[in-house]
């Protein structure tokens, strides 16, 4: 089954916790702090696998969670960092944030990577908090939480040449005639319900990747017929073979209609080089119509070809013309690899909300700090209190009317306010 749009959930790994520990060895009276740091959590990375040409493998598993970093150990031992989670995607995958619909990356080249969620850093052990005034710190950090997000991925096939036309024009027959592809072929509209790819080998130096795009009808850009679900696959192609049905009532009207649908969907499609080909020349009536159709197309600036995809006659000149046009056709524009997603807002910003049960503080930096605090160690709690004062959270709570004994909730942790 061809799947070209899918939604998945991804989550990077949490950093390992730093350790509170003191050196204890024989003949050493006062061992200093030697708690090790936690390891970094695993990143979530999308990577192009050229062997894939569909997103169907995501139907079996749509949740991807990277492993957490290991906790720090005694004698300054740093916990092991987790391996990155590599998720394979086919070339031509466009990645969007499902919540905002923001384009995060356009993955095209084999092996190209996009880090979509960065793993949390490891928490620091108590060795980092020693000072001349505090030589036995009972302070450490828990690992930084991982990031999570929902993604929408959309696939646009990457092909040199796209074969377009009305239903039953013979697009699948042409693809089967020039490549090893085996698309479904029958004499009724919409035989092709999904795009098909094939490689045509012209000689030892020249080859073409062709995509057979399902038939287009009037209103396709608005979802009529098979809809615009497959029109986006033409955007990646550099040259179009516009196949006309020689048995149609009016092949020239079909030609105009398809070009209109392409332009209405994307103005750039109308500017792509087109090779106009009349099909079904094995039929006597089509042979009779060919001179008139050829004359009309030449009036519009086209140099049309006539073939029989079923009999596989005169198809090679069409392919060599495509090779010629590809020499000068512009490369398809892609967004390219984008950096790791980071929100643009200042991470130190926060909000204070008064509720029936107390006060709720929300903010990226303060919530992360709360998740990384060892609440069972007084030193870590005092450090968190100093951070609240530095960020201005304490002042904001006082302005909001917090009083002795009120509950303040930060990242799910409930704290009792004390002056």
> Is 372 annotated for ligand binding?
no
The answer to whether the annotation marks 336 as part of a ligand binding site is no
Cβ burial of 287 (10 Å; 0-12, 13-18, 19+) is middle
Taking the C-alpha atoms of residue 216 and residue 358, their distance in angstroms, rounded to an integer, is: 60
Give the C-alpha separation, 394 to 248, whole Å. 77
Q: Where are any strands of DSSP class E within 118-225?
A: 148-155, 161-164, 196-201, 207-212
CA 23 – CA 154 distance, rounded (Å): 54
Q: Please tell me whether 309 is known to bind a ligand.
A: yes
344 is in an annotated binding site: no
> Is 361 among the annotated ligand-binding positions?
no
Q: Is 169 assigned to a binding site? A: yes
Q: Is 167 a known ligand-binding residue? A: yes
Known binding residue 282? Answer is yes
| CB distance 292 to 244 below 8 Å | no
> Binding residue per annotation — 165?
yes
Q: Is 193 annotated as a binding residue?
A: yes
Is residue 213 part of an annotated ligand binding site?
Answer: yes
Q: Report whether 191 belongs to an annotated binding site.
A: yes
Question: Does residue 171 have a known ligand-binding role?
Answer: yes
User: Is 170 within any annotated ligand binding site?
Assistant: yes
Please give the torsion angle defined by the CA atoms of residues 55, 57, 60 and 64, in that order, rounded to the nearest 10 degrees.
Answer: -80
Residue 168 assigned to a binding site: yes
CB count in 10 Å sphere of residue 201:
13
Is 53 labelled a binding residue? no
399: DSSP letter: H
Question: What Cα–Cα distance (Å) separates residue 253 from each residue in 6, 109, 245?
Answer: 36, 38, 11
Query: 92 is written with which tokens?
Result: 């031509």
Check whether 194 is labelled as a binding-site residue: yes
281 is in an annotated binding site: yes
Expressed in angstroms, the distance from the first to the final Cα of the chain is 64
Give alpha helix (H) positions in 150-283.
171-178, 251-265
Q: Which residues contact 382 (CB under 8 A, 6 or more apart)?
A: 139
Under 8 Å CB-to-CB from 267, ≥6 apart: which residues? none
39 is in an annotated binding site: no
155 marked as part of a ligand binding site: no
Residues contributing to the annotated binding site for Mg(2+)? 172, 192
Q: Which residues are part of a known binding site?
A: 165-172, 190-194, 212-215, 279-282, 308-310
Which residues belong to the annotated binding site for GTP?
165-172, 190-194, 212-215, 279-282, 308-310
């Amino acid at each position: 089954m061809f799947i070209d749009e899918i939604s998945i959930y991804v989550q990077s790994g949490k950093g390992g916790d730093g350790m509170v520990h003191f050196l204890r060895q024989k003949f050493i009276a006062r061992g200093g702090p030697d708690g090790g740091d936690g390891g970094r959590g695993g990143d979530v990375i999308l990577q192009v696998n050229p062997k894939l040409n569909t997103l169907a493998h995501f139907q079996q598993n749509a949740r991807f969670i990277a492993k957490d970093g290991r906790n720090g150990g005694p004698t300054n031992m740093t916990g092991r960092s987790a391996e990155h989670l590599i998720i394979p995607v086919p070339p031509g995958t466009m990645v969007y944030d499902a919540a905002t619909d923001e384009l995060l990356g356009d993955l095209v080249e084999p092996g190209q990577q996009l880090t979509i969620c960065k793993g949390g850093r490891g928490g620091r052990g108590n060795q980092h908090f020693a000072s001349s005034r505090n030589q036995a710190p009972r302070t450490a950090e828990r690992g930084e939480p991982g990031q999570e997000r929902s993604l929408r991925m959309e696939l646009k096939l990457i092909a040199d040449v796209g074969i377009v036309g009305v239903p039953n024009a013979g697009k699948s027959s042409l693809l089967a005639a020039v490549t090893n592809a085996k698309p479904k072929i029958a004499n009724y509209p919409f035989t092709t319900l999904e795009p098909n790819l094939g490689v045509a080998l012209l000689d030892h130096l020249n080859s073409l990747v062709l995509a057979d795009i399902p038939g287009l009808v009037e209103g396709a850009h608005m979802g009529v017929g098979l809809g615009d679900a497959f029109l986006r696959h033409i955007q990646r192609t550099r040259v179009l073979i516009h196949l006309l049905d020689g048995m149609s009532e009016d092949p020239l009207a079909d030609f105009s209609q398809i070009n209109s649908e392409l332009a209405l969907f994307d103005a750039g499609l109308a500017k792509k080089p087109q090779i106009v080909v009349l099909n079904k020349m094995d039929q006597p009536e089509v042979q009779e119509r060919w001179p008139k159709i050829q004359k009309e197309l030449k009036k519009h600036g086209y140099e049309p070809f006539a073939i029989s995809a079923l009999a596989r006659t005169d198809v090679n000149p069409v392919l060599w013309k495509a090779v010629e046009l590809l020499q000068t056709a512009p490369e398809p524009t892609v967004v390219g690899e984008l950096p790791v997603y980071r929100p643009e807002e200042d991470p130190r910003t926060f909000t204070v909300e008064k509720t029936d049960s107390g006060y709720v503080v929300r903010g990226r930096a303060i919530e992360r700090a709360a998740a990384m605090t060892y609440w069972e160690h007084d030193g870590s709690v005092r450090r968190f209190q100093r951070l609240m004062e530095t960020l201005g959270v304490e002042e904001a709570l006082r302005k909001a009317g917090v009083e002795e004994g009120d509950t303040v909730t930060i990242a799910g942790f409930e704290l009792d306010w004390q002056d």
